[in-house]
Each structure stands twice: as structure tokens, then as C-alpha cells.
Structure 1
Amino acid sequence: MTATRKSEPDAGGTPSLDAPELFINRELSLLEFNERVLAQARDTRVPLLERLKFLCISSTNLDEFFEVRVAGLKQKAELVNTPTEADNRAPREVLREIGVRAHELVDKQYATLNDELIPALEAEGIRFLRRSEWNPRQRQWLAEYFEEELLPVISPLGLDPAHPFPRILNKSLNFIVALDGTDAFGRKIDYAVVQAPRALPRVIQLPAEATGSGPHDFVFLSSIIHEHVVDLFPSMGTKGCFQFRVTRNSDLFVDEEEVDDLLRAVEGELPSRRYGDCVRLEVAHNCPQSLCDYLMDRFLLTHEDLYQVDGPVNVNRLMALLETIDRPDLKYPAFSPRLPSELGPSGDLFAEIRAGDVLLHHPFDSFLPVIDFVRRAAADSRVLAIKQTLYRTGPDSAVVDALVEAAKAGKEVTVVVELRARFDEADNIELANRLQAAGAHVVYGVVGYKTHAKMTLIVRREADGLHNYIHLGTGNYHPKTARLYTDYGLFSCDQTLANDVHEMFLQLTSLGKVSGLERIIDAPFRLHSAILEKIEGEAAHARAGRGARIIAKMNSLVETRVIRALYAASQAGVEIDLIVRGICCLRPGVAGVSDNIRVRSIVGRFLEHTRVFHFGNDDAPEVYLASADWMDRNFFRRVETCFPVTAAPLYDRVMRELALYLADDSQAWMLASDGRYHAVEPAGDAPGLSVQKRLMEGPG
């Protein structure tokens, strides 16, 4: 175990800003975020089926945490096991702490499912029937389901030298079966593996007309396999059947300096994700230790990597029930995003943008104008060119449809597709091929840098010459997530701003060095130094006795030099409010260091995704929107945009909405100096303010 290094305080007793104890470990902070998501599943103010959804999200988040973060730590631990983060913890030390925290989190997940959600759902007539609860009609129907749907596609595998332990797909549902007796050839077989067919649902709804069930009676696929596992091994007895699931390293590795065709390289690496190194084993809670040991040995895992769970090993598959169960009373009330009044009167989107910048805050404002922006450009004979970046957009995208139509219509369409958007690689390869087939120019960004910027440029011929229209956003061009994530989008025809966008597209396609951008602050070139300068500028104002203020909203705060700059600004007297949804490595409330820093996280119906940075700047306050968080990868390994909101009405709106986020006492969590979060409670008998509910009613 590597001891955590502590830095000596300065002569005044203030800790050095390099002190490891001033930095929260990023992996443990991410687990804390998942605790806040799980808290939504336990919150009785949240509609019941939405609580189930939050449980599934917490499960999916934990899967990705192991697939990427834990997998990476394990690789580091095997190579050198030396500290690489500001908190100065060695990878093995962090892995041990993750093991403790993650086991606690998993126990809470299953307690939430078994003790809270299942009983509450049953009270609403939504039942998960155990085998002991099946009536004769249900049992008969499920037997027929097994014979007709499962048996033709299932392949039980008895294990012997000719039938070695099979390759187990990442996160697939499997069963280890202990056998008793001899096989058809007179040999003794101890174990078998049954892999659940991937094509079948993991939760089966029982038909009321066939089984006499209620309208919402369900059976887990695992229960059906358990019930009929004896039928898979005729003449042999079964001593036990236990579900298990293994999680594997799913981070793709592509040596970008050694490949000639990035698309083919990424495409070729995708199958390896299914069979990466194992990092976690989940088994049924009643699985005997001998079988657990057998599985751990097969997957080269230890007891620290073993999670014994009381319920389905793939909880996230319960998400499918939200579409299956038609119970609006158990879901969030229907919400229709509003169409901003600025885009309504003339029906001419380009004329409305010419009249002044337009700011959208999704999902409170509709995403349709963004889709319409590209659609109208595709159909407009005066539009000559469309350029757009695509990071995540989904397999069936109206935005891509419009780009395809524009290319087919003979317009110059250039699309920068980021092939390495994690877990969306396959979708992005498919849409890249589709765009190329339509005649669009498709590039894959810059080798070594992910293109994470969200920008669209439309070149239109008008009576007085060519004009550029742009859209810049904090989130992806993804219609589905635009209904679930909060993001800002800015329409503008400001030619200075539009020229910056034009220059950035030139750089992404030609790879040449751009001339100095005037309004946009871009990564990986200037964003990090600009943020440091602005933070240090606020510190200078404070030292000079002028008002100094920073409000920053983002998804993650990790980068060490920025954190140190915020500490120094706090020491200088700058009032700092940080709204950080997920990872926060800054430790607030440390005497003499971060007394003036407050960190809050908002977790609610919508995933907070906006990046907004406000600097008081004495008498010239500034607001920026960005595609980037304050993380190393965003500053140094991605192409990002950070752009100002200068129109007075739009600036005022953003500031009012930031004030609402800071006033939220219904869905807010405050970070304490010990790295833990505590829910904010309304004062007295007040009903409390939920910023998301307030913004659903109208702009800030």
C-alpha cells in the first residue's frame, strides 16, 4: 500500500495548494454521483416507475464505471502501480477503496429493488412472479414458452476436456450448473454452463388471456431457465443452477499513429470489446462458495471483484418495463417543450436569426428548431453549403436525414464524425458510411484528438452576398437525448462569431493552423490558459478590493491546475459557486483554502449537461457556454468550443437561470469537505424550489 503524501503547510499554517489531501479521488467522486442517482430511486416524491428507471440508470452507470474506470486502474496497477493523480493514491489503493464503496452501493441497489420498489410495484398491480408463485395455467404457458422460444436456441454446455469453459460475452446472462450423475457416454460431468439467448427479452410479460394473470405480471427469463434446467441435461441430476454475469474491459485501443484508415481500425476493434479482460463477476447470492471460486479462477478474478446479488444480475434490463407498462399515473407528467417565441412570427428561420441571436435551453425549449435549421437549409436553393460536427446523434437521426437530403440535392455538405465517441462507435460508423454514400464529405476529426465541439455552419447566398448562419451548443445533435438532457444552443448570424466557426471547420478538414479566433475560445489550443486567466483575473479584482465572482456549471471538474487556481481565488476572497453534476475533485470548505467555494450537484428528472461559466470581471461581466468540462481530456485531448453570450436579453436569461440553480433546495446536493454529498432541505415548511420544474414552466 502506498501512503498518501502530505505537503507541509506554509509559514502561516495554510496547506500548500499541491497537498494531495486537497484533491478528491476522481473514481470515488464518480461513485458518489451514482449514489445520488440511486437516491432518486429511493425518493418517494419521484413517480414509482421513474424510481425504477433511476435504479436501472445507477446499474448502467456502474457497468460503465467497471468497463472503463476500474479496467483502466487494473491495467495501471499491473504495470507500475504508482500515483498519477493529484490525490497521490496508487491504483491498488484506489481499487481497494472502490471495492468497499462499490459493494456498499450494490447492496443498496438490491435493497432498493427488493425492499422498496418490488413491494410498491406489487401494490400497484405490477408483479414479478417467483417460481413458487406460478399457478397451474401460468406454469403451463411458461413451459410452452420454454419449449417453443428457448429450447430451439439455447446451447447448454457440459464442461470436459473436449468442451472447455466457453468464452463469455461482456455483460451477458449466464448460468453455472452443478451436475450429478453421468452423461450419455457414461462419464461424470461436474459442471455445465448455460448461456441465455441474447435475442430474447430478460423479462417476459404473461398474457392475461392465456394464464389468468393480471395485466402487468412478469417473469424473469432467469426464472424460466432455472425451472427447466433439468430438461437441458437429461439423465443427469442438477445440484444447483446459479446466474452469473462478467464485466470486461470495454475501452477500445486504436494506435492512431499506426493506422491508415481510422474508420476501418475502429470498426476492426469493436468485436474485441465483447471479450476484453474481466474486471467484475456478479453471481446469485445463494451460489455456493465452491462455485464462486471456480468462476473466479476461470476469469482470473479475486474476492474483491466478486459481487453476490439478491436478484437479477442484470438489473438494467428492467428499463424495458417503462415502455411496456402503460401507467401514466406512475410516470412523470407529460411535458411538451415550448417553441421559443423568437422563432414563431415569420416562419422564416433565417430571418428570425438575422433579427437577433436566439438561445434555446433544452429540453425546456424544443429541439425541433435545431432539426429544422438543417432541414430548411437542405431544401433552400440559396443555401450553398452545410458543415456540421457529429459526436453522438443516434442510429435514426432526423439531423442525419436532413444532411443526406442536402447532399443528394447537390449542396456542399461536410460532416466531421467522431468515430471514437465511446459506446456509440458502431452507430457513428454506420452514419458515416450513409453520409458518404449520399455524396457528403466525411472526415473523422484529428488523429489523437476527439472532436467534441457541437457546431453547425450554413452558408447562404442572399441579396447582399454570402451570409453565414451558425448553431453552437453544449450538447450533442441527438434528438432523443435533447428530451432528456439539459443543454444550451445558440443560433446566430453574427459574422465575427460565424467566421470563427468557419475557421474551426477549415482546421478540422485541412488540418492547417487557423488564424486567431476572435470570439470562440477553442481547445486544445487556448481554452485551458483562458480559463486560468479568467480565474486569476477574478482573484486580482478581489485583492484590489473590487467585487469578484465566479459561477461555473459543468458535468465534471478534475483538472489540477484549474482547481489550484480556484483555491487561490478563494484565498484572495473571490466568491465561487460551482454546480458540478458528476465528478468533482475540488474539496470545498477547507479552512484557509476553499472557505469561499461551494459545490452543489443537481440530480432530477433531466440529466444536467449544460456547461456555463460566469466571471464577474468587475464592471464587465461575462458568460460563456461550452462543449467542454474542466477536465484534462477536454482541455488537451479534444476539439472544443467555448463561446460568449453577448446579447443583453440572453445574458440576463442565463444569469437568472444560474440563480435558480443556486436556489434549488429540492433536488440539490451539497459537497462537504470530506468528499460526501448531503441533500439540501427546504427551510421550515417551505415547499422547496426545483429548478427543473421551474424551467418547465417558462424561461428563467
Structure 2
Amino acid sequence: PVGLDPAHPFPQVANKSLHFIARLSGKDAFGRDNRIAIVKVPRVLPRVIKLPANISDGRQAFALLTSVIRAHLEDLFPGRKVEAFSQFRVTRDSDLEVDEEEFANLRHALRSGLTTRHFGRAVRLEVVNSCPAELSEFLLEQFRLPNAALYRVNGPVNLVRLNELIDQTDAPGMRFKPFEPAWPTGRLPRHKSIFERLKKADVLLHHPFESFEPVVALLREAVDDPDVLSIKQTIYRTDAKSELMDLLIEAARRGKEVMAVVELKARFDEEANINWAERLEAVGAQVVYGIVGYKTHAKLLLIMRREGTKLRRYGHLSTGNYNPKTARLYTDLGLLTADADLTADADSVFRQLASLGKFKAPRRMQVAPFNMHSRMMELLAQVENAARAGYKKARVVVKINALTDAELIHGLLRAAQAGAKVDLIVRGACMLPPGLPGVSDNIVVRSVVGRFLEHSRICYFRWAEGDDGEALFLSSADWMSRNMFRRIEVAWPVLDARLRQRVIDEALQPYLHDTKDAWQLGPDGRSVRIGDGSISAQQALMSLYT
């Protein structure tokens, strides 16, 4: 504990770290009237403590660390009484403020910024709801915060740490059954060359129901293959320990041309990405950090291979990150392909990121911030026009994480008002109010919150009969202005009718009929549970691949 006086100023309080503030009675051992003390709770201490069976009647009982500290707080101040106290934590602005145009090397600038990010400008103060006004006002003054930044919490100020309760509880009936993602044996035989398989047809992977391991296996085969000349990959969020990154390093060591587009400003993954960038550069890989002012959020892997007298490209395009750990927890779609047009487009994106040349329209891909937004608007207008012309099956289905872009929202509204049926599966923020009479009553917005985090982005449009009357895109981008105009994103069409139908059957239709994990958004902004709990899209897909 720190008793505050001129020689003991208010301590540095790190972002979201747990502290207690106490008001003490009387004077200290030196006769000084310093009544306020701060107690820092070390992060290494467990926040949930399991009690021994002999004092809990054989039941499972737990105590919060904060309760233990509260009960023994006076023990920290011998000879004085604790008159009032509260636990508190402060949230700080953790954005790394770097003017990219002022620094010659963005990595060095961010590396220096990481040391101070936990002590950025305070933006929020949380105290328990019983905290005396005197103490909360004192804390607000110390952190230079207005009253509006004060939040009184009924319970622990950091509910996330209650995750420890899950790990310590012996309750197998309340846990999800173990699930192991399946290897797509029928489409991608084990221990056979993935290059040879992709010459015949593309392979679509649906994570986490199908394993992410084929992506790792493709890169591993590329590293071991003497005919592979170059490997290019975007890196947005990856793990601190990553076989994919180790493989890129090994490829560079073996003399292959390796280019890594590392997004250094992926929030809270900056340090891991900087470390990987330094390791890649140390073995001679070409490392670039994207475009100044734009985050590189596209997920691309491109391999150039010599086959006889020709060169052939192989690629992987994904809605999710190159992170095997989150690939077991997030729903995403990835495409392994040797398609000449798609891989040529991917190569153009990499050249754009490395050489900063003029944008050249891709053959099939849509690329933000260049043509993705305008293409989505064109497709919405096409559905709108078909509906106005009397086509009864005009349809839009979009599955994304967030919908906040005003133009895209108005495009959806116009299509719905023309008579098209619009279904939106939006996991997070949605600024379109559905169900407003005469405005959005032809739009249904739902979200699915289940065992896995919904992360795939899918855009489906129908304006006529037949394969030529529909389009389906997979994408790295949400329908937000930041994604469309301030990030490097890609969307690509699924042109193979068989794969397109599989995406519809697995990643759209089940979610439109979910009655267990689904919530429907109302015109008042409130979400309510849907159905009787009998149908879960995620459980159905787990059963499909078991």
C-alpha cells in the first residue's frame, strides 16, 4: 500500500489494473495526517479462489480475491482503521498515436510506443456502487476525468477475470463436449500433394468445423518444394507462437523469395507482429507494413511455383486470420485455389502493397478502398431494379460482423422498399433499424451467438433466375466505412456453382433458421431470442463434419 503525501504522490495506475482506495482514521507513525492510501493488486494473483472442501460442506465454493482483500484490508495499516474503501480501475486510451508520415520506420516508432501504452490518457473510471462520493471525486480529480466518466459497478469491476471460475469448476455437464475439426479427406486426401489437387479444382474450407491444418500443410509443402520460387502472405493477427510464421522464416532461409505484409497496427497484436517482422527481416525476407494511413486487413497467401517451362500461382483467400488457435474458435471460410484470375488478382494486391503503383482494376476481386464499396452498391441497385421490375425472388443476404456504412444501409433500404427480401446476419453493431413500417419492414436482422464466434463475411445477391442471376462474395471486410475506405480489404466471387451452393447451404441457410442461438433485432434497437431452442446452426454443422 502507498499512503499519499507530498513524498508519496499518487501512483501510476496501469490500464485496467485493479486497485483499492482507502480512507484511514487517525495519524500515521510519524504523526502525519495522511488519510488516503492506494493498494495495488498484483495481476499475477488469481481473482477467483476455490475454497477447501472441509470448509464448504463438500460443495464447490469460491471466494473472489477482492473479498479476501476487503476482509483483511486493515491488516495492511497496523494501528489505523479503514473508514471507507472501494476497489477501482481506470481504462486508458491504448491506441498507439504515431504520425506515420513523420517516421521513416513505422516499426521503430511503434516499438517505442508500446512501452507507454498502458499509461495513456484516462477515459473511464470504474468503482463499486458503494464507493463514497469523497473517494470517487478524489479519483476523478487524480485522473482528470469529468463526472460523466464515472461508472458505479454492482459487483466486481472486471468480470472478465471470472473466466477463472470456469477453469476451476468441476461441472462436466455444463461444459461443451470436446470437438475436433475435421480434415476434408474426400476433397483433400491426406499425404497427397495439395498442389496436384488444386490443379483439378478449388477446395473450400469451413472453419472451425473443418480443420485449418490444410492451410498450414500447403505452406509446409511450398517450403519443402524446390520448385516453389516465392511465397507472399499478409499477416494481420497471428499467434506469438505460430507454425505459419516459422515456415515463412524457414522458406527465407532456404533461399525462396518471401514477402510478408505485416500490419503493425493490428490493435493489441502490435508487439507480436513487430517481433515477427524483425525475425523475418533477420533471415532476408522482404517485410512491408502496407500503406501509410490504411490498415492491411485482407487475408491472402500466394505461392509461385515453377512447373516445367511455366510458372503457376497457388493461393489461399480467407475471411479470417492466419491464426490456427482462433481458427478453432471462429467461423470463417477459406478458399485454396489455383484459379489463374484470382491468383493474378492476389498478386496485383501484393504488388500494390509493395510498390505503391497505380490501382489496376482486378479481373475478379473487389479491393478496398478502390472498388469494393462501389461494386456492392451496384449489386444492391441491380437487386432493387429487378424487384421494381416485378421479379418476386429478388433477394439480398449479408452475413457480417458490423453494418454501419450509411450508403450501404441506404442501398439495402432501397432494395427492400422496392420489394426485395433482405436478410442480414450481423454479429455486432447494426445501424439499420429493421421492421419500420414503410421503411424497413422487408428487412430482418438477426445475430447468432453460440459456441463459436461468428466471423465469416458473405454477401449474396439474386436479381434473376439461373446462375447468371445471382452473385455470392466472400470477403475480409465488414460493411463499415473504415473497412471500405480506410483499410486494404478483398472480396472475391464464388463462381463455381457447386461451391456457391455449399456456402449457401452451410453458412447462410442454417443461420436463417436457427432457433437456439439466434437473436432478432427489433425496430426499437432491442434484440430478442428467436424460437424454441430446437435448431442450432453451429451444432448442425458440427454434426455434419463429425
- Identify the TM-score tier after normalising by the shorter chain: over 0.9
2:229 to 384, 403, 427: 384
Q: Which residue number corresponds to residue 194 of structure 2?
A: 349
Counterpart contact for 1:281–1:306, Cα < 8 Å = yes
Q: Classify 1:640/1:463 alpha carbon distance in 2 versus 1 (closer, same or farther; 3 Å).
A: same
State the shift of 1:277 in Å: 2.4
Q: Classify 1:669/1:243 alpha carbon distance in 2 versus 1 (closer, same or farther; 3 Å).
A: same
Counterpart CA distance in 1 for 2:382 and 2:545 is 31
Which runs of 5 or more residues in structure 2 are unaligned?
none
1:292 aligns with 2:141: no
The answer to which of 634-643 and 657-666 deviates more is 657-666
Counterpart contact for 2:182–2:545, Cα < 8 Å = no
Q: Which residue number corresponds to residue 432 of structure 2?
A: 586
Q: Classify 1:215/1:401 alpha carbon distance in 2 versus 1 (closer, same or farther; 3 Å).
A: farther
Q: Secondary structure at the match of 1:355?
A: coil
Normalising by structure 2, we get a TM-score of: 0.94
Q: Which residue number corresponds to residue 630 of structure 1?
A: 479
State the shift of 1:324 in Å: 4.2
Q: Which residue number corresponds to residue 609 of structure 1?
A: 455
State the shift of 1:637 in Å: 0.4
1:103-182 to structure 2, matched below 5 A, reads 156-182=1-27
Deviations 1:404-426 (A, max 9, x none): 12112221111101001111111
Q: Which residue number corresponds to residue 661 of structure 1?
A: 511
1:441 to 281, 286, 295: 286
Deviations 1:205-262 (A, max 9, x none): 45679x8996955443323433443333233332233211111222222211222111
Q: Classify 1:378/1:256 alpha carbon distance in 2 versus 1 (closer, same or farther; 3 Å).
A: same
Q: Which residue number corresponds to residue 89 of structure 2?
A: 245
1:646 to 495, 505, 526: 495
1:427 to 272, 293, 299: 272
1:199 aligns with 2:44: yes
State the shift of 1:595 in Å: 2.3
Q: Which residue number corresponds to residue 158 of structure 2?
A: 314
Counterpart CA distance in 1 for 2:82 and 2:245 is 53
Q: Secondary structure at the match of 1:342?
A: coil
State the shift of 1:563 in Å: 0.8
Deviations 1:532-573 (A, max 9, x none): 001001111112223421111101111111111111111211
Counterpart CA distance in 1 for 2:313 and 2:545 is 28
Counterpart contact for 2:290–2:296, Cα < 8 Å = yes
Which runs of 5 or more residues in structure 1 are unaligned?
1-155
The answer to which of 249-258 and 523-532 deviates more is 249-258
Q: Which residue number corresponds to residue 37 of structure 1?
A: none
Q: Which residue number corresponds to residue 258 of structure 1?
A: 102
Q: Secondary structure at the match of 2:312?
A: strand
Q: Which residue number corresponds to residue 489 of structure 1?
A: 334
Counterpart contact for 1:206–1:213, Cα < 8 Å = no
Q: Secondary structure at the match of 2:445?
A: strand
Counterpart contact for 1:385–1:411, Cα < 8 Å = yes
Counterpart contact for 1:519–1:644, Cα < 8 Å = yes
Counterpart CA distance in 2 for 1:467 and 1:214 is 66
State the shift of 1:589 in Å: 1.8
Q: Classify 1:672/1:402 alpha carbon distance in 2 versus 1 (closer, same or farther; 3 Å).
A: same
Q: Secondary structure at the match of 2:323?
A: coil
Q: Classify 1:214/1:281 alpha carbon distance in 2 versus 1 (closer, same or farther; 3 Å).
A: farther
RMSD: 2.1
Structure holding more helix per residue: 1
Counterpart contact for 1:445–1:509, Cα < 8 Å = yes
State the shift of 1:681 in Å: 1.4
Q: Which residue number corresponds to residue 44 of structure 1?
A: none
The one-letter code of the counterpart of 1:525 is F
Deviations 1:102-137 (A, max 9, x none): xxxxxxxxxxxxxxxxxxxxxxxxxxxxxxxxxxxx
1:393-472 to structure 2, matched below 5 A, reads 393-463=238-308, 465-472=310-317
1:696 aligns with 2:542: yes
1:467-546 to structure 2, matched below 5 A, reads 467-546=312-391
State the shift of 1:462 in Å: 1.9
Q: Which residue number corresponds to residue 305 of structure 1?
A: 149
Counterpart contact for 1:448–1:637, Cα < 8 Å = yes
Counterpart contact for 1:669–1:678, Cα < 8 Å = yes
The one-letter code of the counterpart of 1:254 is V
Q: Secondary structure at the match of 2:303?
A: strand
Q: Secondary structure at the match of 2:334?
A: strand
Counterpart contact for 1:377–1:383, Cα < 8 Å = yes
The one-letter code of the counterpart of 2:526 is R
2:119 to 270, 275, 278: 275
Counterpart CA distance in 2 for 1:522 and 1:396 is 30
Counterpart CA distance in 2 for 1:272 and 1:604 is 36
Q: Secondary structure at the match of 1:243?
A: strand
The one-letter code of the counterpart of 1:249 is D
Q: Classify 1:157/1:433 alpha carbon distance in 2 versus 1 (closer, same or farther; 3 Å).
A: same
Q: Classify 1:278/1:345 alpha carbon distance in 2 versus 1 (closer, same or farther; 3 Å).
A: closer
Deviations 1:404-451 (A, max 9, x none): 121122211111010011111111111111222232211111101100
The one-letter code of the counterpart of 1:487 is D
Counterpart contact for 2:458–2:475, Cα < 8 Å = yes
Q: Secondary structure at the match of 2:115?
A: helix
Q: Which residue number corresponds to residue 672 of structure 1?
A: 522
Counterpart CA distance in 2 for 1:481 and 1:188 is 53
Counterpart CA distance in 1 for 2:420 and 2:309 is 48
Q: Classify 1:301/1:345 alpha carbon distance in 2 versus 1 (closer, same or farther; 3 Å).
A: closer
Counterpart contact for 2:204–2:334, Cα < 8 Å = yes
Q: Which residue number corresponds to residue 223 of structure 1?
A: 67
Counterpart CA distance in 2 for 1:263 and 1:321 is 38
Counterpart CA distance in 2 for 1:361 and 1:245 is 40
Deviations 1:192-217 (A, max 9, x none): 111112333323445679x8996955
Counterpart CA distance in 2 for 1:576 and 1:480 is 34
Counterpart CA distance in 2 for 1:668 and 1:677 is 10
Report sequence identity in percent: 50
State the shift of 1:585 in Å: 0.6
1:569 to 403, 415, 425: 415
Counterpart contact for 1:207–1:215, Cα < 8 Å = no
Runs of at least 4 residues off by over 6 Å: none
Structure holding more strand per residue: 2
Counterpart contact for 1:207–1:213, Cα < 8 Å = no
Q: Classify 1:346/1:647 alpha carbon distance in 2 versus 1 (closer, same or farther; 3 Å).
A: farther
Tell me the number of residue pairs that the alignment of Structure 1 and Structure 2 aligns: 540
Q: Classify 1:178/1:641 alpha carbon distance in 2 versus 1 (closer, same or farther; 3 Å).
A: same
Counterpart contact for 1:346–1:352, Cα < 8 Å = no
State the shift of 1:273 in Å: 2.6
The answer to which of 485-494 and 313-322 deviates more is 313-322
The one-letter code of the counterpart of 1:650 is L
1:370 aligns with 2:220: no
Deviations 1:32-84 (A, max 9, x none): xxxxxxxxxxxxxxxxxxxxxxxxxxxxxxxxxxxxxxxxxxxxxxxxxxxxx
State the shift of 1:692 in Å: 0.7
Q: Secondary structure at the match of 2:414?
A: helix
Counterpart contact for 1:362–1:485, Cα < 8 Å = yes
Counterpart contact for 1:229–1:241, Cα < 8 Å = no
The answer to which of 268-277 and 403-412 deviates more is 268-277
Q: Secondary structure at the match of 1:579?
A: strand
Q: Which residue number corresponds to residue 65 of structure 1?
A: none
Q: Secondary structure at the match of 2:187?
A: helix
Counterpart CA distance in 1 for 2:436 and 2:462 is 23
Q: Secondary structure at the match of 1:490?
A: strand
Normalising by structure 1, we get a TM-score of: 0.74
1:232 aligns with 2:76: yes
Q: Secondary structure at the match of 2:199?
A: helix
Highest RCO, 1 vs 2 (Cα 8 Å, sep ≥ 6)? 1
